[in-house]
Structure 1
Amino acid sequence: MFARGETILQLMERLAPKHYAVPDDKIGLQVGSVAKEVRRVLVTLDVTPAVIEEAAALGTELIIAHHAVIYRPLAHLRTDTPAGALAASLLRNDIAVYISHTNLDTAEGGINDWMADALELTGRNVLEEVHTDKLYKLVMFVPESHHEAVRTAVFNAGAGWIGNYSHCSFNTEGIGTFLPRDGSEPFIGKQGQMTQAKEIRVETIVPDSAKKKVISAMLKAHPYEEVAYDLYGMDLKGKSFGLGRVGKLPAAESLDQFADRVKKAFQVPFVRMVGDGDKQVRKVAVLGGAGARYVRHAIFAGADVLVTGDIDFHSAQDALAAGLTIIDPGHHAEKIMKPNVAYWLSEQLKNKGYATEVFASKVETEPFQLR
């Protein structure tokens, strides 16, 4: 059995929810339709004519890309232009394109975490906050007989986290009252009779990202026909998600040594370096893509070095003057997403019993060459 396209996109949005994207980012389904079974998926950084040829040769119905196919508004769709010809080729081969961009950058376990993993960074924090999970207080009333079952269900669904502590709740014993009316099928008591039941009031924390899943789990595990519960918005700040990561190397090393580490980690033939090669670096800020505007963020975070792409002349000068070193492996270092997304999605589909195959593109889309 092959997964339908809609199912695959739902899985991708579990990895990188759309609301994690920065405002006005061009994400989501951009070309074609996913209202069909998908036998093969191709994961790529960019969609180019060579990538489309690769996808067609594989028999791919869906491409998942990081960079948008349609980024700027189209005034027309002429097939004698590069953009028009690309769209025509995709439609001719019946290949849909789904974009996961800054939401994949921001996501926990997304591009910036993969880059930080490749550099062996520990004790990581977000470089720039993009999204903070709103917190809710869930109060539910459960009969004693099902207290543990219901509480375990909501914990497993994502409730009960406070910082690094899980399974957090407050539990109070009490008496619940209710009068089952005509048409009811009460778990406790009888129709038309006033009923009292020993219940436990359970209070716990629920992040917005897990709210639907937690409520669904609670309703499924709860024995009552009509479940009594309250959900309150809270002013407390939840978990932060954002662009870039800041962490520490296992041990300090020279900038020259670190440059070699970056080349190996991101499989690039060269890097551009700003700073003294003998300088010792330990605290590292890393951000996939173009990160010139994050120089100040890295300085504020106390980083010794910033790893990012597309650094311009003046940003390099500003960093050098502020004592921040930079390693620029190029925008294309984000290609680390290809094998990682392909593996993650493949495992998700396999665990759900689907035969859909997922491939990482082998086409090199780096536009620059070193002479």
Structure 2
Amino acid sequence: MDCASFFCPVINVQHFLDILDEIAPLALAADWDNVGLLVGNPQSRVTSVLVALDPVLSLINEAQFLAAELIITHHPAIFHPLKRLRTDQPLGSFLAAALRAGVSVIGCHTNFDAACGGVSDTLAEALELMGVVPLAADQAVPECGLGRIGNLPKPLAVEEFLARLQVALPFPWLLEAGPRPATVVKVAVCGGSGSDLAETALAAGADVLLTSEIKHHTARWAEETGLWLLDGGHFATENPAMRGLQQQLAKRARQAGLDVQIHLARQKAPLRLVP
């Protein structure tokens, strides 16, 4: 679709659904996920877009300030089937505000987790990993999938690796489980909740798995198996990819001749360290 090569009177939500399907195909989304257009009309006009990790009420205010008619979030605004819409509750309040403001909302979740150039690729690139491949490849699209694994440019002592990590991805905190290796060469990463990929990382020969929301039993398992686990928090391991999504959208919009502003939301982690 190239609006530069033929008459394209109105830029609408469908243009961005099509672009997103190129960046993060819907086919990559998990069966249990809920992605795509969740609020709004595909034919609604778009002159400005706001990209964010989380669908929260303040996002509607930011969208209105930026005159954005479309919000694209990583975490879906509607995840579980709705039996009621309570506007005195956070979800209902967000959806009602979006409808009142005429703002469409798209979810781009596990499809962007698995996509090339998605959430985990952002972590791998920040660490300058080489020979990167999916940790759990998608059966239909093997070059995509959940998590990434690759090698550092050179072996690092644990202290050197942690210093490099905090420069590349300045996490507000890091939790660890399992024994520290003598050196770190092969690194597995999974933005968001990647505890379930620990066994896959170990089988792939990873010295460490960087992810978030590591489960208690997985941490105990790591102690016994010898895999070093690092938990950097859900927000901190996923939010850096939102800038990448913004940049990819802006690039493809320019290539398609779409004159649209693509903004990145100013969101902070909901969890913080107690001083």
Deviation (angstroms), 1:130: 2.5
Asked whether 1:63 is paired with 2:56, we answer no
Partner deviation per Cα, 1:296-318 (whole Å, 9 max, x = no partner): 01111110000001012221121
Aligned counterpart, 1:245:
148
Unaligned runs of 5+ in 1: 134-238
Q: Check the 8 A contact 2:181/2:228 in 1, yes or no.
A: no
Q: CA RMSD in A?
A: 1.6
1:339 to 238, 243, 256: 243
Aligned counterpart, 1:83:
91
Asked whether 1:24 is paired with 2:32, we answer yes
- Amino acid of the structure 2 residue aligned with 1:299: L
1:10 to 18, 40, 54: 18
Aligned counterpart, 1:369:
272
Deviation (angstroms), 1:264: 2.8
Deviation (angstroms), 1:258: 2.0
Q: Which has the higher strand share?
A: 1
Runs of 4+ with deviation above 6 angstroms: none
Deviation (angstroms), 1:56: 1.4
SS at match of 1:288: strand
Deviation (angstroms), 1:347: 1.2
Deviation (angstroms), 1:357: 0.5
Aligned counterpart, 1:107:
115
User: CA 1:289/1:92 → structure 2, altered by over 3 Å: closer, same or farther?
Assistant: same
- Amino acid of the structure 2 residue aligned with 1:295: A
Aligned counterpart, 1:264:
167
Asked whether 1:327 is paired with 2:233, we answer no
Q: Check the 8 A contact 1:3/1:349 in 2, yes or no.
A: no
Deviation (angstroms), 1:257: 2.6
User: CA 1:257/1:2 → structure 2, altered by over 3 Å: closer, same or farther?
Assistant: farther
Q: Check the 8 A contact 1:305/1:326 in 2, yes or no.
A: yes
Aligned counterpart, 1:161:
none
- Amino acid of the structure 2 residue aligned with 1:288: G
What are the within-5 Å matches in structure 2 for residues 184-263 of structure 1? 239-263=142-166
Deviation (angstroms), 1:275: 4.2
1:282 to 180, 185, 209: 185
SS at match of 2:239: helix
Separation of aligned partners in 1, 2:126 and 2:143: 22
- Amino acid of the structure 1 residue aligned with 2:67: G
Deviation (angstroms), 1:277: 5.3
Separation of aligned partners in 2, 1:264 and 1:33: 42
SS at match of 1:250: strand
1:318 to 202, 207, 221: 221
Separation of aligned partners in 2, 1:27 and 1:337: 17
Separation of aligned partners in 2, 1:116 and 1:2: 38
Partner deviation per Cα, 1:261-281 (whole Å, 9 max, x = no partner): 333323322211224557311
Deviation (angstroms), 1:353: 1.9
User: CA 1:277/1:129 → structure 2, altered by over 3 Å: closer, same or farther?
Assistant: closer
- Amino acid of the structure 2 residue aligned with 1:41: V
SS at match of 2:144: strand
Aligned length: 265
> Which structure has the larger Rg?
1
Q: Check the 8 A contact 1:11/1:348 in 2, yes or no.
A: yes
Partner deviation per Cα, 1:296-345 (whole Å, 9 max, x = no partner): 01111110000001012221121121111011111112001211111111
Q: Check the 8 A contact 1:256/1:277 in 2, yes or no.
A: no
Separation of aligned partners in 2, 1:290 and 1:257: 25
Partner deviation per Cα, 1:90-114 (whole Å, 9 max, x = no partner): 1111111101111111111222111
Deviation (angstroms), 1:127: 0.9
Aligned counterpart, 2:258:
354
SS at match of 2:49: strand
